Each structure stands twice: as structure tokens, then as C-alpha cells.
Amino acid sequence: MEKLATLPLEAQYDLLKNELFAQGKKVSFTARTLGEMKEVLFDAANAQGGQSKPLYFMFRDVHREQDKQLLDKHGLRYDVTSLPAIGLGPEFNKTYGHYHPLAPNSKTAYPELYEVLYGEAWYVLQKRKADANGLPAKGDELEEIIVVKAKAGDKVLMPPNYGHLTINPSLTQTLVMANLVEGSFKSDYSAFKQKKGGAYFALTDGTWKPNPAYVKSQQLKQTTAKEFWGNKPMHRFKDNTYSEFLKDPQAFEFLKKPELLF
């Protein structure tokens, strides 16, 4: 059982059973299966396992009972997600990928704050070019593609208007991460489904393969959580995300009002 750096929320993760415990209680989850993921894989035919094989686990709305009212008041939700060390054929394990909707009365989509609790993560961010009205275009031409590499303790902000997916770049170590996000919107998976994945695939031999479904792929940029430009507003948070929220909930108002980031 691995203790997670989420205090004062007491959280532990069972790496063998892929179970999360918060305040001593087992947390319910939903799992994304191989059958659901095949449409976004580099080589689905060689991904071993049956259709019902779980590839990652999503634990939604994790909190201490005494903190629920505060989270609800500020319209935020704290989640935990785990990706076991599974090879998907020649590809590392990953999440499906999604975009966020625009915030109300805004041309800017909701951001999301991630924190690596155990293992390492590669966050792949891709931004669609804007249309004539300054809104994210519906086409597949991308303005930017960035991979942000993060280790345990790192926080990574998914900036407004960026689609994103997460990769576990290990065949031996589970990735466990938390995210703090506006609690009411629904993620949009349709663009990743239509293009059969993100703009690039991360292969276990260390290479990145462009997705041919994208008409024009920008060059892949790689950086670290420390150097990523989108993390500049996050450097003020020295403690874990859960603790920082309890200390100053108003500091996370940008998750509901993304214009505060600019």
C-alpha cells in the first residue's frame, strides 16, 4: 500500500489491486477498458488482453467529508486517476484524450490542474488553431503540440483551449495522479475519437510517431513541469494541491474563470 502526498486527505493506493483508499475507506471507480480504447491506439491489433481489460481507473470526487461543502461552494472537484504499467502493443499506456468546453460567456475553455502523486507522467497537450472569431476551430490543424514530463510532486496546468491526454511512460511502475477541476462540465472526447487518437503516439522504443489522421502536424515540443510556460502561475503552490486548496480556495478561482490566467 502506497501512501499518497495528499494530506490532510489521508489517501493510500494499493498498487497490486489498483484500489484507492481515502480516510480509510475504499473509493469507487470507473475504468476505461481496452475495448473502449482500441479506436485511439497506434496498433490495436497487438494490444494484448480482452475487450474488458481495464487500462486506467478514475476515482471521482475524492475528499474528506468535512471538505465537501467547501469544494461544492467553489464549484470544484478533486479526482484521482491511475494508469498501471501496461504495454498497449508497441505503445505506452495512456488515457483517451479530450478537450474542455468553453466557460460560460467566454471564448476560453476551462483549464485543469494535475499533480503526479506516484510514478511519472507525460502530459500531451495539443491546441487547435483559432477561427476568425477567435474561437477554437473544429478542424484538425493544430497550432501547437507539447509534451510536459512530470514526476511525483510536480503539478502541471492544462491551459485553456488545449486538448490533452496522459501517458504512463513506464512498463514497470504505476502512475497515480490527482486533478482539481471545475466540477460541472463534461469533457469532449469527440475530436480524439474522430482522429483515432492524439497527434502523436508514444512508443515503448522511445520514439514518437505522428498520427497520419492529422492533415498537418506541428513539430512535437518536449519540456519538463519545471520549465513549462503554462506552469508559471502554479509555482506559488508549494504544498500538495489538496492542502493548497484548503488553505486558500480563492487562489483556484481560475479553474472556473480561465480569463484570470491572462
The secondary structure of 1-41 as a DSSP string is -EEPS-TTS-EEEETTTTEEEETTEEPP-EEEEHHHHGGG-
pLDDT number for residue 236: 92
Mean pLDDT of all residues in 75-93: 97
pLDDT number for residue 129: 81
Examine the pLDDT at 259 and tell me if it is beyond 90. yes
pLDDT in tens, 115-163: 999 999 999 999 988 776 666 666 667 889 999 999 999 999 999 999 9
pLDDT number for residue 139: 61
The amino acid occupying position 59 is F
Examine the pLDDT at 79 and tell me if it is beyond 80. yes
CA distances from 49 to 16, 84, 164, 187 (A): 18, 14, 25, 27
pLDDT number for residue 135: 64
pLDDT in tens, 170-204: 999 999 999 999 999 999 999 999 999 999 999 99
Distance CA 70, CA 244 (A): 13
Selected residue with higher pLDDT from 218 and 125: 125
- For the chain, which domains are there? 2-261 (2.60.120.10)
Please state which of the ranges 24-33, 86-95, 229-238 shows the lowest mean pLDDT.
Answer: 229-238
CB count within 10 Å of CB 101 equals 13
Selected residue with higher pLDDT from 219 and 66: 66
Residue 200 has which C-alpha cell?
A: 502523436
pLDDT number for residue 250: 97
pLDDT number for residue 136: 63
Strand order in the sheet with 11-14: 2-3, 11-14, 19-22, 25-26
pLDDT band at 39 (very low <50, low <70, confident <90, very high): very high
Mean pLDDT of all residues in 13-32: 97
Average pLDDT, the chain: 94
pLDDT number for residue 191: 93
Mean pLDDT of all residues in 197-219: 90
Selected residue with higher pLDDT from 215 and 236: 236
How many DSSP H helices and E strands does the chain contain?
A: 4, 18
- Segments of 100-195 assigned E as strands: 112-118, 120-128, 142-151, 155-158, 162-168, 175-182
Proportion of the chain above pLDDT 90, given as a percent: 87
Listed in sequence order, the DSSP H helices in 173-240 are 190-194
By CB atoms closer than 10 A (0-12, 13-18, 19+), residue 156 is: buried
The amino acid occupying position 92 is F
pLDDT number for residue 93: 98
pTM of the model: 0.95
- DSSP-derived 3-state class of residue 51: coil
Please state which of the ranges 7-16, 31-40, 41-50, 240-249 shows the lowest mean pLDDT.
Answer: 41-50
Distance CA 31, CA 251 (A): 31
Examine the pLDDT at 243 and tell me if it is beyond 80. yes
